[in-house]
C-alpha cells in the first residue's frame, strides 16, 4: 500500500532534497493560496515493488511525516517545578478606588499596589472592576484591563461570537432577592468575598491572597472549607468529586483517554455542595466538614456554582485549603449561581449562561456501534445483521475514516464504499428504522500542486471562498492530519459555514446519513506549526505513526473471556503480539540522552503564544504539539 513506507525509506529516496520546516522536500516556490510549485521531479517517498498473482508491480510509496515533526519544546509544568517562582510571594496586588454605582451594582478602578512583579509576563497597572447582580440567581464579577482598544481587546476580552455572554436581567425588586452578597476590602490589598445571605456562609473568599494580572498570566485564590465538595471542571477522566489534591487543566487536547489529564473539551465551571447541621431551635446552619454526624440531628445540603468565562489555557489547583486559578491571559469573568439545589445550579448555568444543548432525536439515545477498520459496506452491514441475529437492539451504525477516498472529507472510496454499493444497505437500514453516521474531520486535504489529477473540489471551493486559517504572513496554515497535509476551516470567516453546509448537502445526496461524527476539532494536527508549508509536493503524506492494521501495528487485543472461548486463536494472537512488541523495541532502542527543559523567556510587552512563561500542565506538553 502507498501509505506503508517508513521514515527511513522516504529519507533515502529524498536524500538530495532541501529542508523546509524540518522536513524533507523538493525546492519549492510558495503561492498565496498555500499551494507550492516544485522545481524538482522528486516529490514522493520513493518506489517499492510487490508481487501480485506472480507478477511484480512497482508502486509509489508515500512520504511519512517524521515523528519529530510533532515534537515541541521539553517543558516542565510550573506545578511540578519546585524552583518556580510563586506569584503570591512576590506580587503586590491591587488597590480599589473610584467606586461608582451602576444600575445593577457598581464599578471601580484597580491600581497596582506596589512595584510590578512581572513574574510571568508584564503586570497590567490599571484594571477595571465591574460587579453586577444580573438576575435573582446570578452575580457577575468582571476584572479586565482599563485600557483596551482594537490592538489588544481580543487578547483580553472573549467575544460573544465565541462564547455567549449571560444577558443582563431587568433591574426589578426580584433581582434584589438574590441569595448572594458581594463585599470588598483594600486591607492590605484588594480582595473580595461572596456570601450566601440566608446562611452567612462565605462561598468565595480571596482574602489573604493577592490578585495577579499580567499580559500572559492571571492568578487569583479563593479559600475553601476543609474537605470541600467540588464537581465539574471537565473534560477529563477523574473521580466525580474532584478532591483537594488535584490540578485541573483547561486546554482542549486530542489525547485519547489519559487519567486526570486534559482532553477534548474545556468547561471551567464547578458546582460546590456544602452540608449543614440545622439547629432545631434557632434554625441556624453550621457547616459540616467531617464525617462525625448523628442520625438524630437534622442536616441540609446547599449548592452553588461558579463559571469562569475564559477560553485561554488555564489551571485550577485544588489544594487542601483553597482553589487557585491560573490563566495564560484573558480576563476574570466570574458568574456565581446561588442554587440552592444541585439541579437548580445546573439550570441556572445552562439556561442563563451558556445555553442548552441541542435537543437530540430519540434514536440518538439508543445503542450505537462504531469502530475503526470496517473494510466496506458489506462488512458494515454484516455487523448490523449480527446484532439482529443476537437479538441485541441497535439504533445506529457508524463508519470511521475507512469509508473515505484517501481519508478526505465528504468523499467515498469508489472501490469499497461507493454510493452504489451502499444503496441497498441504506434502504434496509431505513426499512428497519435504523440509522447511519459517518465521521467527518475538521481538516481538509490540500492537493499536490505538481499532480494535476490530485484535484479535490472541497478544498478548491473553500480556497475560493477564503475560509481557511492563515499564518501571520497571509499564507494558509497547513498542518498534518489523516489525508496528509491539510488546512483548517476558520469558522469566523463569512463564507465558512455556507461552504461547510454546501459540502454536507452534496455528500448527503450521495449517502443518506442521519447525522455526522465531527472529529479532530480541538483542533488536532500531527505536527507543530504550519509543517506543510513548502512541502505540498509530497502530498498525500502518511501520518508520523503507523495506523491500526499496518505492518508492525496490527490490532491484536481481544475482548475479555476470548481466551476461554477461543483458546487457540488467543494463544496465537498473544504470541504474535509479543513478537511484534519485541521487534518494535529492537528497532527503536531507548534513548539515553537527557533533554534539558526549555525555559521560556519573558520579554516585556511581548506575548509568546506557543511557550508562555508560565507552563500549564498540558497533557501534550508544549501547547503547539498535536494541536
pLDDT at 220: 98
**pLDDT computed for residue 173 by the predictor:** 65
The CA-CA-CA angle for residues 18, 22, 23, to 5°, reads 60
Query: Of the candidates 570, 587, 604, which is a domain's last residue?
Result: 587
Q: Find the CATH number of the domain harbouring 392.
A: 3.20.20.80
Domain count, the chain: 2
Same domain for 320 and 367, yes or no, is no
Give Rg (Cα) of the chain.
Answer: 28
Q: Is residue 178 part of a domain?
A: yes
Nearest CA to 543 out of 25, 182, 64 is that of: 64
Q: pLDDT for 507-537, tens place per residue?
A: 999 999 999 999 999 999 999 999 999 999 9
**Pair 531, 481 in one domain:** yes
Give the containing element (helix H, strand E) for 103. Answer: none
Same domain as 421, residue 304: no
Residue 29 has pLDDT above 70, yes or no: no
Query: pLDDT tier at 23 (50, 70, 90 boundaries)?
Result: low
Q: Report strand pairing: 298-308 vs 332-337.
A: antiparallel
pTM: 0.88
**Does residue 285 sit in the same domain as residue 381?**
no
For 569-584, b/e burial (b = at least 16 CB within 10 A) is eeeebeeeeeeeeeee
Is residue 593 a part of any domain in this protein?
A: no
Between 134 and 553, the higher pLDDT residue? 134
Cis peptide before 235 (omega within 30 of 0): yes
* β-bridge pairing 105-112 and 55-60: unpaired
Domain that holds residue 462: 362-587
Same domain, 413 and 266: no
Give dist(CA 334, CA 307) in Å, integer: 6
- 69 domain residue, yes or no: no
Does 619 map to a domain? no
Q: Verify that 300 and 384 share a domain, yes or no.
A: no
Judgement on whether residues 273 and 179 belong to the same structural domain of the protein: yes
pLDDT value of residue 227: 94
Q: Where does a domain end: 309, 334, 354?
A: 354
- Among 295, 328, 354, residue at a domain's last position: 354
Beta carbons within 8 Å of 342's beta carbon, 6+ residues apart: 271, 273, 303
Q: Does some domain include residue 602?
A: no
Taking CA atoms, 390 is separated from 385, 387, 394, 436, in Å, by 9, 5, 11, 20
Mean pLDDT check: name the lowest of 313-322, 373-382, 541-550, 555-564. Answer: 555-564
- Going by pLDDT thresholds of 50, 70 and 90, the confidence category of residue 14 is very low
Over residues 243-266, the pLDDT tens digits come to 999 999 999 999 989 999 999 999
298 and 433 co-located in one domain: no
Sign of CA dihedral 410, 414, 416, 418: positive
Residues 406 and 345 in one domain: no
Give the model confidence (pLDDT) of 541-598 as tens digits.
999 998 888 877 887 877 888 888 888 888 888 888 888 888 877 877 777 778 889 9
405 and 522 co-located in one domain? yes
Residues 310 and 371 placed together within one structural domain of the fold: no
Do 224 and 349 have their domain in common? yes
The CATH number linked to 224 is: 2.60.40.1760
With 60 as the cut, is the pLDDT of residue 178 above it?
yes
Amino acid at each position: 500500500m502507498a501509505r506503508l513506507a517508513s521514515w527511513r525509506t522516504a529519507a533515502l529516496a529524498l536524500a538530495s532534497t532541501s529542508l523546509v520546516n524540518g522536513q524533507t522536500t523538493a525546492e519549492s516556490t510558495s503561492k498565496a493560496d498555500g499551494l507550492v510549485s516544485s522545481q524538482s521531479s522528486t516529490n514522493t517517498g520513493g518506489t517499492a515493488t510487490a508481487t501480485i498473482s506472480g507478477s511484480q508491480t512497482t508502486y509509489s510509496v508515500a512520504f511519512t511525516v517524521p515523528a519529530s515533526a510533532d515534537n515541541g519544546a521539553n517543558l516542565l509544568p510550573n506545578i511540578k517545578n519546585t524552583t518556580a517562582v510563586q506569584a503570591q510571594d512576590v506580587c503586590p496586588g491591587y488597590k480599589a478606588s473610584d467606586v461608582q454605582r451602576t444600575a445593577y451594582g457598581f464599578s471601580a478602578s484597580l491600581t497596582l499596589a506596589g512595584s510590578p512583579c512581572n513574574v510571568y509576563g508584564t503586570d497590567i497597572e490599571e484594571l477595571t472592576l465591574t460587579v453586577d447582580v444580573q438576575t435573582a440567581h446570578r452575580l457577575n464579577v468582571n476584572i479586565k484591563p482599563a485600557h483596551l482598544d482594537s490592538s489588544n481587546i481580543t487578547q483580553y476580552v472573549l467575544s460573544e461570537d465565541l462564547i455567549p455572554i449571560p444577558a443582563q436581567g431587568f433591574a426589578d425588586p426580584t433581582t434584589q432577592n438574590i441569595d448572594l452578597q458581594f463585599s470588598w476590602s483594600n486591607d492590605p490589598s484588594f480582595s473580595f468575598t461572596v456570601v450566601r445571605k440566608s446562611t452567612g456562609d462565605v462561598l468565595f473568599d480571596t482574602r489573604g491572597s493577592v490578585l495577579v494580572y499580567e499580559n500572559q498570566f492571571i492568578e487569583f485564590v479563593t479559600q475553601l472549607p476543609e474537605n470541600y465538595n467540588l464537581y465539574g471542571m471537565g473534560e477529563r477522566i477523574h473521580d466525580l468529586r474532584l478532591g483537594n489534591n488535584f490540578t485541573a487543566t483547561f486546554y482542549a487536547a486530542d489525547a485519547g483517554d489519559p487519567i486526570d489529564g486534559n482532553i477534548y473539551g474545556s468547561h471551567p465551571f464547578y458546582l460546590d455542595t456544602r452540608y449543614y447541621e440545622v439547629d432545631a431551635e434557632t434554625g441556624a446552619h453550621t457547616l459540616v466538614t467531617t464525617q462525625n454526624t448523628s442520625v438524630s440531628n437534622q442536616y441540609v445540603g446547599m449548592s452553588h456554582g461558579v463559571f469562569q468565562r475564559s477560553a485561554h489555557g488555564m489551571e485550577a489547583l485544588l489544594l487542601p485549603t483553597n482553589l487557585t486559578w491560573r490563566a495564560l491571559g484573558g480576563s476574570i469573568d466570574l458568574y456565581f449561581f446561588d442554587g440552592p439545589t444541585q439541579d437548580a445550579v445546573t439550570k441556572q448555568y445552562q439556561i442563563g449562561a451558556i445555553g442548552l444543548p441541542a435537543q437530540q432525536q430519540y434514536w440518538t439515545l439508543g445503542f450505537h456501534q462504531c469502530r475503526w477498520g470496517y473494510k466496506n459496506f458489506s462488512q458494515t452491514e454484516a455487523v448490523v445483521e449480527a446484532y439482529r441475529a443476537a437479538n441485541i437492539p441497535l439504533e445506529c451504525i457508524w463508519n470511521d475514516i475507512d469509508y473515505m477516498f484517501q481519508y478526505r472529507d465528504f468523499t467515498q472510496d469508489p472501490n469499497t464504499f461507493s454510493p452504489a454499493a451502499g444503496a441497498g444497505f441504506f434502504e434496509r437500514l431505513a426499512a428497519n428504522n435504523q440509522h447511519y453516521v459517518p465521521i467527518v474531520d475538521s481538516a481538509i486535504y490540500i492537493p499536490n500542486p505538481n499532480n494535476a489529477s490530485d484535484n479535490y473540489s472541497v478544498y478548491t471551493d473553500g480556497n475560493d471562498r477564503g475560509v481557511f486559517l492563515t499564518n501571520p504572513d497571509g499564507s494558509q496554515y497547513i498542518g498534518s492530519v489523516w489525508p496528509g497535509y491539510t488546512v483548517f476551516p476558520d469558522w469566523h470567516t463569512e463564507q465558512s459555514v455556507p461552504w461547510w453546509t454546501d459540502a454536507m448537502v452534496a455528500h448527503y445526496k450521495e449517502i443518506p446519513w442521519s447525522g455526522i461524527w465531527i472529529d479532530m476539532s480541538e483542533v488536532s494536527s500531527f505536527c507543530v506549526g504550519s509543517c506543510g508549508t513548502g512541502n505540498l509536493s509530497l502530498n498525500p503524506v502518511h501520518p508520523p505513526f503507523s495506523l491500526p492494521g499496518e505492518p508492525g501495528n496490527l490490532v491484536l487485543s481481544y475482548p475479555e473471556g476470548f481466551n476461554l472461548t477461543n483458546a487457540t486463536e488467543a494463544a496465537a494472537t498473544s504470541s504474535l503480539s509479543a513478537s511484534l512488541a519485541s521487534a518494535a523495541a529492537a528497532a527503536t532502542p531507548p534513548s539515553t540522552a537527557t533533554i534539558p527543559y526549555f525555559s521560556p523567556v519573558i520579554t516585556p510587552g511581548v506575548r509568546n503564544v506557543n511557550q508562555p512563561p508560565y507552563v500549564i500542565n498540558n497533557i501534550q506538553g508544549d501547547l503547539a504539539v498535536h494541536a
